[in-house]
Amino acid sequence: MPDLKRRSLLAGLAAMPAAACTELAETKPAGDLFDAAEDWHRTAHRRLAARQALAPEYAPDERSPDVKGNGTVSIETPEYQEQLAKGFADWRLAVRGLVDNPLSLSLADLKALPQRTQITRHDCVEGWSAIGEWKGPLLSDLLDRARVSEKANFIVFRCADVLYNRDYYESVDMVDAYHPQTIIAHELNGEPLPEKNGAPLRVRIERQLGYKHAKYLTAIEAVASFDDLYGGKGGFWEDIGDYQWYAGI
């Protein structure tokens, strides 16, 4: 059948760059080049926009009907389910690591801090987007209260969920940690954060893709490097799938 032949010829031709790229990607120079490109993007973004430039915010009627849950959407452990049933009355968020004044905060403590409400768009790395209204204290406020040491270069988010038998965690640099839209959200669209969206607490890092927005937060840690942290790449997806640590592109 000529059709089949043409198809396999096409497949053969297409497979040449595909195969070459697949092989090439495993080499050190290619990996270094990918990392360099990631740095160029981050640098270009930071040069083009102000350090504190805000992500777009929307009007209440521009919200999407829902904010899709992705990755972990439910935590089956009895401890979590018990907390969920009790409205997270005993949930604590630790702020620790390279800080002079470690904190352990209840949900009530977090709600007693000055709050920010923002209607922003969540862009998943897969390609979909959803718009929701998030409310919570600024991360910078928590970091200031914990008095972060000057030795800290990154903020790590520790989570209660486990995916593929690994603890979920994420991290950002100080620029995004102190960004005025980086909040520890406890509400979505005027309601306590639903389980699929990370109840009771998730971080919003509005200038980066969704996998940075860690859910089910248990601790915020100031660190100097990622060397002692799981795979050493600064995040769950970065470790298991070699995802880009800078998720602004």
Partner 1 sequence: MKRHALSTRLWHWINALAFVVLFMSGLNISNAHRALYWGDYGYDMSEAWLIVARFPSWMTIPQRYDLAEARDWHNLSAWAFALGLLVMWATSLLNRHFARDIATSLEDWRPDAWKAAIKEHTRPGDHGDRSYNAVQKITYGLVLGIGLPMMIATGLAISPGFEVAAPWLVDAFGGRQSARSLHFICAWGLAGFVALHLFMVLWSGPVKQIGRMITGGRREGDTNA
Q: Is the peptide bond before 78 cis (omega within 30 degrees of 0)?
A: no
Kindly state whether residue 177 participates in binding partner 1, applying the rule CB under 8 A.
no
- Shorter beta-carbon distance to partner 1: residue 53 or 89: 53
* Closest to 120 measured CA to CA, from 72, 176, 183: 183
163 binds partner 1 (CB under 8 A): no
The closest alpha carbon to 159, from 86, 237, 67, 87, belongs to 237
DSSP 3-state helix, strand, coil percentages of the chain (rounded to 5)? Answer: 35, 25, 40
Interface stretch with partner 1, choices 20-28, 134-142, 146-154, 184-192 (CB under 8 A): 20-28
Start-to-end CA span in the chain (Å): 44
Among 6, 9, 19, 39, binds partner 1 (CB under 8 A): 19
- Taking residues 54 to 93 in sequence order and writing x for each that binds partner 1 by CB under 8 A, - otherwise, the string is xxx-x---x-x-x-x-------------------------
What is the bridge-based pairing of β-strands 129-136 and 217-223? unpaired
| Closest by CA position to 125, among listed 235, 14, 15 | 235
Name the one range near partner 1 by CB under 8 A: 46-54, 73-81, 145-153, 194-202. Answer: 46-54
Query: Does 112 contact partner 1 by CB under 8 A?
Result: no
Binding residue (CB under 8 A) for partner 1 from 126, 144, 167, 191: 126
- Establish if 158 lies at the interface with partner 1 (CB under 8 A): no
Contact between 32 and partner 1 (CB under 8 A)? no
Query: Is 244 an interacting residue with respect to partner 1 (CB under 8 A)?
Result: yes
Kindly tell me which residue out of 1, 2, 5, 48 binds partner 1, with binding defined by CB under 8 A. Answer: 48
Distance, CA of 126 to CA of 114 (rounded, Å)? 34
Residue for token pair 């390609």:
127
CB hemisphere CA count around 179 (13 angstroms): 24
**Residue 68 token pair:** 């899709």
Q: Which residues bind partner 1 (CB under 8 A)?
A: 11, 14-15, 17-19, 21-22, 25, 33-34, 37-38, 40-42, 44-45, 48-49, 53-56, 58, 62, 64, 66, 68, 121, 123-131, 206-209, 237, 241-244, 246-249
